[in-house]
Amino acid sequence: MDTLIDLGGGFASALEPVSLAFALLGVLLGTVVGVLPGIGPISAIAILIPVSFGMEPVHGLILLCGIYYGSMYGGSITATLIKTPGEVASAVTAIEGYEMARRGRGKAALATAAIGSFLAGTLAIIGLTFLSPVLVKLANVFGATEYFLLMATALLLASTMSAGSRAKALISIFIGLAVGLIGLDFQTGLPRQTFGMDLLSDGIDFTIFAMALFAIPEAIRNLALGRGAKDEIQSFGNDKWMTKEDWQRSAGPWARGSVVGFIIGILPGVGPSLASFMSYIMEKRISKRKDEFGHGAIEGVAGPEAANNAGVGGAMIPLFSLGIPGSATTALLLFVFTMYGLQPGPLIFRDETGLIWTIIASMYIGNIALIILNLPLVGVFVKLLKMPKEILFSSILVLVVIGAYAIEFSLFGLMMLGIFGVIGYLMEKGGIPMAPAILALVLVPLLEDNFRRMLQISGGSFAPLVTRPVSLSIIILMVAGIIGPIIFRWWVSRRKLLADVTVS
Amino acid sequence: MRSTTITRTRTAASAKEGSTSTRKRAAKIGAVLASVALVAAACGNKAQPPGEGGDYPKGPVSVTAPAEPGSGWDTTARALVEALQKEDIVSSPLPVQNKPGGTGCSWLTSMMQQEKGKDDQIAITSLASQTMKARNLCEFGPEDTTLIATLYVEDFMVVTPKDGDFNDLDALVKALKDDPQKVTVAAAGDDTLPFALFAKEAGVDPADINFVNYDGGGEQTTAMLNGDAKVAIAGMSEFRSVIEAGDIEPLVTFAQEPLAAPFDTVPTAKDSGYDVTLGNWRGVYGPAEMPQEAVDFWAKALEDVSKSDAWQETLKNNQWATEFHTGDDAQAYVDDAAKTVAEGVNETDLGNSK
Amino acid sequence: MTAFRTDLITGGAIAVIGAVYYIATFSIQETANIVTPRTFPAIVGIGLIVLGLFLAGQAAVRHRKDTLAEAGTGSGGTARTTPARDGDGTAASAGESSLETADRSSGQEGVSGIVLEAPPEPQVRKVVFQFALFFVYLAILIPVGFLLSTAAFLMGLTSIYAPEKWIRNLIFSVLFAVVVYTAFVYGLAVYLPVGILG
């Protein structure tokens, strides 16, 4: 009950006209900035942090929350329309979203992303509001062993993400792992796989890698095709709004994505990035239309977008309750809080009651502002695709270059972009999917750190994998998840065989 | 105007200390902020060539934190700039830039080479950079640069979960002697040194200590709460909020003097009979061969700021202890610390095993 | 290029990359930890070698089967027609985008109308040329500056594509460069290289 009263108080201050104006302004700024390739939520907040200084903490935080939501959605827009993800979560959206846009379904893709983000974001904040104290305990049963298993499971599942050869998906994962290990070893600070180049010691930036793999091959291929091949590509632009079928197909993924995203988001260090990948994998696994995945399945946009936003809400739980940032973006939020003199942690709910509930209330409002502002704009964004092809794709190349420059500010960063662009093109030629590599790049530090911690703690023994209840459960689920479908398929094919025999 | 982004940054005095060393994941954010800052700074440089004559500084002077935002170096840089400007000690713009890389080594190397002789750059450094050098992971240490001043020292603290296996230091030492493998110590890479020295004092081979690597106080706290780690060591500000909340208890600190309240009851290692005093000092350095005029200017400015109310307030809020030296004093202090670190690294086999 | 050859080349290339990667792990300083900094990179290197060889081997085996089968049916099938074991999937076709590759688990039934015909593959020569232009742009961006190099790059690309619309191309190239530059530098304080104009 106290929660409700506090939340009411929060709403009272967040609903003041000035606060509302800041929420809307934040969403608008965030969307505009997030649309620029290479500028995901992290950079958007970083770039716009100075704007919020000199404001009242409440207003500044409301503004930043709006920027955060806006830029996340902005990233989905570029991922969908020009296959240029600005951050991990929208890398997943780029898979199905772009395929939808190619088929003239860009509007539906953006709409399902916006609505899914809104619903999941709202659900997650409700979860944050009422379940925080219970859920924070979840973080305490997840030790290094469980994290390692979770990461390993995620990577195994990632090999089922893409259509086609399993071996090629595994190669993709290993490419991601290989690239992710470049740089200084987290544990010892020793350089690894830098081939003697100091410049490589900071590793390969995720955004550069993702932009290079997704956007560059697509742009180069389209430009190299020349005019003769102009028409076969897409019905870009002839767009329809979400149909009744789209709504029906999106509802389930929204709901499942919200739950998956929220739970994964709570785990510190994992955050929303894994959530969106997991949601995609799950939607693909349970879908009756598996064949549509990779060709613009709306479930593959609705689920991950919901999971991503729910994951953000989930990540706020360890942030607020323990002062532990669950993702890069929450780490940045933590930084912002501390700059306002707030110390997130167990005491924040007691010491800063008014402020914290205003922030939570402003998240609700930011979410609403997002959907009010962006749904009408969907049509405008989609119109951008009607530009002549050479102009569209050459602009994308320039924007991607700016994105890479804004990350590294060096010739080296630009060259990495070019080199990985070539690698991405060759991967595409060889039929190696991109998305598993991107997930692997994100997960490899977590996988390796926790593997090393697990063995360091156990003194080199693998026993904790089966002696700890939670890890044992994960293993059982994993085995069931792999063996189960095989048995199921065998059973189905046997029945079919029997049926065939009966018919004949 | 161009450096607005950064100079307007306000850091609350109670800013949480992050881990000192550069971590890949956090560095991503760092890189972003850094890049914004960097360019702002770079443009500043271009617009304002190094000043000549008596009116130094003519243009903006970049204050570099060679780590990601929120880290120890970063909070120091931001708090310092905040105080310098609040007290009107320096009127030129002071853009804070983040240059993560190699636990500060990348920027330190740049300051020794590319930035050599310039006067529009200062940077934050600390004990961690000395560890890097002692382990042969970095060619240079802070003692090789133009050291301008040491500012303060942050003491290390060993903590354990409340109602955990150890009620006091003796219990910890006993457990370490019984089976060091079982006592998992959560530590960020550079923070293992004081614990290793402590183990040696307690008669346990530092090579046997089971260090498990975690990235900063947040991860360390979770590791202790989920049972993966029995104790943790880090700069004390990492644990301040969780200690206040009661989940985590301090066991010992390696401070020279007993700490200020509310941690005045925490025993120091020295008082408990283990002669280990090592604190994570923070200081400011300039490019190699920085013009004397600039060195003098900054020594004076930092001295002024260290006496200011704003800075004293910052120190108090963060449980940082003043350790202000300039000129030869500072050099001596840092050389001394370098020696301790070098010995520690050798004796505890840190260079090879960890 | 047939799927067989693509897979053979891809597999071989991956194995070589894996070998190089594995060899590079020898220069990682060893430590006394249980899992050393070298462990994971070494596993990844070996994994790449194994997977690359597997892919190439798989392609070779399928090719032989197909050749045998072809001798019987006379159809011009490639490795793609080989039935695969559960979920193993088909070898991706010549890489003309994943569109051609149906997910094996249900792909057999044929894919409904949503699948676009695969986009045609551009000529290698043109792709190389596009990449070359892109790298030139990357190389001159910092020394020459954003405005000039971007305008030139855009002008080049659009003119190759539609030379007769050069006026439109010129206007677009200059305008785009200026607008983007203004937005980033003055709107976001992200300073793009000034180059020779500075």
Contacts of B352 in chain C (CB under 8 A): 31-32
Residues 207-236 of A with CB under 8 A from B: none
CA–CA separation, B141 vs B132, rounded Å? 8
Of residues B286 and A184, the one with the higher pLDDT is B286
Question: Could B16 and A338 be called an inter-chain contact, meaning their C-beta atoms sit closer than 8 Å?
Answer: yes
Per-residue confidence at A228, pLDDT binned at 50, 70, 90? low
Domain residues for the domain of B188 are 156-277
Domain edge (last residue) among B242, B262, B277: B277
Tokens 């063996």, located at residue: A483
Contacts of C164 in chain A (CB under 8 A): none
CA–CA separation, B61 vs A60, rounded Å? 28
Contacts of C31 in chain B (CB under 8 A): 352-354
Express each pLDDT in A117-174 by its tens digit.
Answer: 889 988 988 888 788 777 767 767 888 898 898 888 888 888 877 777 888 999 999 9
Per-residue confidence at B14, pLDDT binned at 50, 70, 90? very low
Express each pLDDT in C173-188 by its tens digit.
Answer: 999 999 989 888 887 7
Q: Is residue B45 part of a domain?
A: yes
Question: Could B46 and C190 be called an inter-chain contact, meaning their C-beta atoms sit closer than 8 Å?
Answer: no
Q: How many domains does chain B have?
A: 2
CA–CA separation, C38 vs A191, rounded Å? 10
B285 lies in the same domain as B144: yes
Q: Is residue B169 part of a domain?
A: yes
Express each pLDDT in B77-87 by its tens digit.
Answer: 888 888 888 88
Q: How many CB pairs under 8 A join B and C?
A: 26
Query: Phi and psi (nearest 5°) for C149?
Result: -65, -40
Q: Does A114 touch chain B (CB under 8 A)?
A: no
**Residue A55 near residue A63 (C-beta atoms within 8 A):** yes
Question: Could C189 and B352 be called an inter-chain contact, meaning their C-beta atoms sit closer than 8 Å?
Answer: no
Mean pLDDT of A234-242: 60
Instruction: Read off the amino acid at residue B175.
Output: A
Round the CA-based radius of gyration of chain C to a whole number and report it.
25
Contacts of A429 in chain C (CB under 8 A): 6, 10, 94-95
Q: Is residue B94 part of a domain?
A: yes
Beta bridge partners of residue B96, listed in sequence order: B63
Domain edge (last residue) among B246, B277, B308: B277
Contacts of C138 in chain A (CB under 8 A): 401, 411, 414-415, 417-418
3-state helix, strand, coil in chain B (%, to 5): 45, 20, 35
Question: Could A398 and C154 be called an inter-chain contact, meaning their C-beta atoms sit closer than 8 Å?
Answer: yes
Contacts of A42 in chain B (CB under 8 A): 28-29, 32
Report the first-to-last Cα separation within chain A, whole angstroms.
Answer: 68
| CA C98 to the chain's CA centroid | 12
Q: What is the CATH number of the domain that holds B160?
A: 3.40.190.10
CA–CA separation, C109 vs A501, rounded Å? 19
B195 lies in the same domain as B126: no
Q: Is residue B351 part of a domain?
A: no
B165 lies in the same domain as B140: no
Closest CA to A417 of A436, A394, A398: A398
Helix residue spans in B97-215 (DSSP H) = 105-112, 127-134, 169-178, 192-201
Average pLDDT, chain B: 78
pLDDT at A500 over 80: no
Of residues A437 and A48, the one with the higher pLDDT is A437
A227: nearest CB among C99, C115, C161 = C161
Query: Phi and psi (nearest 5°) for B186?
Result: -80, 125
**Residue A142 near residue A470 (C-beta atoms within 8 A):** yes
Min Cα–Cα distance to chain B from C60, Å: 41
Of residues A334 and A104, the one with the higher pLDDT is A104
- Asked whether the bond before A17 is cis by omega within 30 degrees of 0, the reply is no
**In whole angstroms, how far apart are CA A1 and each of A4, A6, A30, A130, A395?**
5, 9, 34, 10, 54
**Hey, what's the torsion of the CAs at B255, B260, B265, B267, to 10 degrees?**
10
Express each pLDDT in A58-89 by its tens digit.
Answer: 788 788 888 888 888 888 888 888 888 877 77
Assigned token pair, C195: 């180059």
Question: Could C190 and B43 be called an inter-chain contact, meaning their C-beta atoms sit closer than 8 Å?
Answer: no
| Backbone CA torsion sign across A78, A399, A178, C12 | positive
Beta bridge partners of residue A153, listed in sequence order: none
Mean pLDDT of A258-268: 86
**DSSP per-residue string spanning C105-170:** HHHTT---TTPPPPPPPPPHHHHHHHHHHHHHHHHHHHHH-HHHHHHHHHHHHHHHH-GGGHHHHH
| Strand pairing report for B248-253 and B146-161 | antiparallel
CA–CA separation, C51 vs C15, rounded Å? 7
Of residues B251 and A295, the one with the higher pLDDT is B251
Of residues B47 and A375, the one with the higher pLDDT is A375
Q: How many CB pairs under 8 A join A and C?
A: 263
Closest CA to B27 of B78, B64, B70, B62: B70
Kindly report whether the global pTM for this prediction surpasses the value 0.90. Answer: no
| Minimal-distance CA residue of chain C relative to A387 | C172
Express each pLDDT in B58-75 by its tens digit.
Answer: 778 888 888 766 667 877
| CA C182 to the chain's CA centroid | 32
Contacts of B33 in chain C (CB under 8 A): none
CA–CA separation, A235 vs A386, rounded Å? 9
Question: Could B42 and C191 be called an inter-chain contact, meaning their C-beta atoms sit closer than 8 Å?
Answer: yes
Residues 346-405 of A with CB under 8 A from B: 346-347
CA–CA separation, A78 vs A95, rounded Å? 12
Contacts of B242 in chain A (CB under 8 A): 322-323, 345-346
**Residue A91 near residue A51 (C-beta atoms within 8 A):** no
A220: nearest CB among C35, C38, C134 = C134
Secondary element (H or E) of residue A291: none
pLDDT at B49 over 50: no
Query: Phi and psi (nearest 5°) for B273?
Result: 95, 10
Helix residue spans in B49-166 (DSSP H) = 72-86, 105-112, 127-134
**Residue A74 near residue A85 (C-beta atoms within 8 A):** no
CA–CA separation, A491 vs A485, rounded Å? 10
B223 lies in the same domain as B273: yes
When mean pLDDT is compared over A129-133, B66-70, B225-229, C106-110, the highest value belongs to B225-229
B221: nearest CB among A184, A324, A344 = A324
CA–CA separation, A413 vs C138, rounded Å? 10
Question: Could C189 and B207 be called an inter-chain contact, meaning their C-beta atoms sit closer than 8 Å?
Answer: no
Residues of C with CB under 8 A from a CB of B: 31-33, 189-191, 194, 198
Q: Which chains touch A (3 or more CB pairs under 8 A)?
A: B, C
Question: Could B29 and A189 be called an inter-chain contact, meaning their C-beta atoms sit closer than 8 Å?
Answer: no
Global ipTM: 0.80
B35: nearest CB among A140, A141, A406 = A406
Domain edge (last residue) among B241, B262, B277: B277
Q: Does B24 touch chain C (CB under 8 A)?
A: no
pLDDT at B34 over 70: no
Q: Which chains touch B (3 or more CB pairs under 8 A)?
A: A, C
Min Cα–Cα distance to chain B from A339, Å: 5
pLDDT given for residue C136 in this prediction: 96
B319 lies in the same domain as B195: no
Contacts of C106 in chain A (CB under 8 A): 290-291
Q: Which chains touch C (3 or more CB pairs under 8 A)?
A: A, B
Question: Could A225 and C115 be called an inter-chain contact, meaning their C-beta atoms sit closer than 8 Å?
Answer: no
Q: Does B174 touch chain C (CB under 8 A)?
A: no
Question: Could A295 and C114 be called an inter-chain contact, meaning their C-beta atoms sit closer than 8 Å?
Answer: yes
Of residues B281 and A484, the one with the higher pLDDT is B281
B293 lies in the same domain as B328: yes
Q: Which of C31, C191, C192, C197 to substitute to test the interface with B, most B CBs within 10 Å? A: C191
Closest CA to A261 of A228, A306, A319, A212: A306
pLDDT at C18 over 90: yes
Question: Could B29 and A335 be called an inter-chain contact, meaning their C-beta atoms sit closer than 8 Å?
Answer: yes
Tokens 């086609």, located at residue: A164
Q: Is residue B354 part of a domain?
A: no
Beta bridge partners of residue B124, listed in sequence order: B284
Within 10 angstroms of residue A124's Cβ, the number of other Cβ atoms is 30
Residues 206-265 of B with CB under 8 A from C: 207
B215 lies in the same domain as B115: no
Q: Does A467 touch chain B (CB under 8 A)?
A: no
Q: Does B270 touch chain C (CB under 8 A)?
A: no
**Of the given ranges (A411-415, B27-31, B340-344, C17-21), which has the lowest mean pLDDT?**
B27-31
Average pLDDT, chain A: 81
B202 lies in the same domain as B248: yes
Question: Could A190 and C90 be called an inter-chain contact, meaning their C-beta atoms sit closer than 8 Å?
Answer: no
CA–CA separation, B171 vs B156, rounded Å? 19
Express each pLDDT in A422-470 by its tens digit.
Answer: 999 999 899 898 888 988 988 888 899 889 999 989 888 888 888 888 8
Contacts of C142 in chain A (CB under 8 A): 410-411, 414
**DSSP per-residue string spanning B103-115:** TTHHHHHHHHTTT
| Strand pairing report for A183-184 and A191-192 | antiparallel
Q: Does B351 touch chain C (CB under 8 A)?
A: no
Residue C117 burial by Cβ neighbours in a 10 Å radius (0-12, 13-18, 19+): exposed
Within 10 angstroms of residue B19's Cβ, the number of other Cβ atoms is 30
CA–CA separation, A64 vs B281, rounded Å? 34
pLDDT at A417 over 90: yes
**Residue B160 near residue B194 (C-beta atoms within 8 A):** no
CA–CA separation, B3 vs B43, rounded Å? 8
Tokens 């909070």, located at residue: B75
B175 lies in the same domain as B143: no
Mean pLDDT of B171-184: 92
Three-class SS state of B286:
strand
Contacts of B207 in chain C (CB under 8 A): 32
Express each pLDDT in B85-139 by its tens digit.
Answer: 888 888 888 877 777 666 788 788 888 888 888 888 999 998 888 888 888 878 8
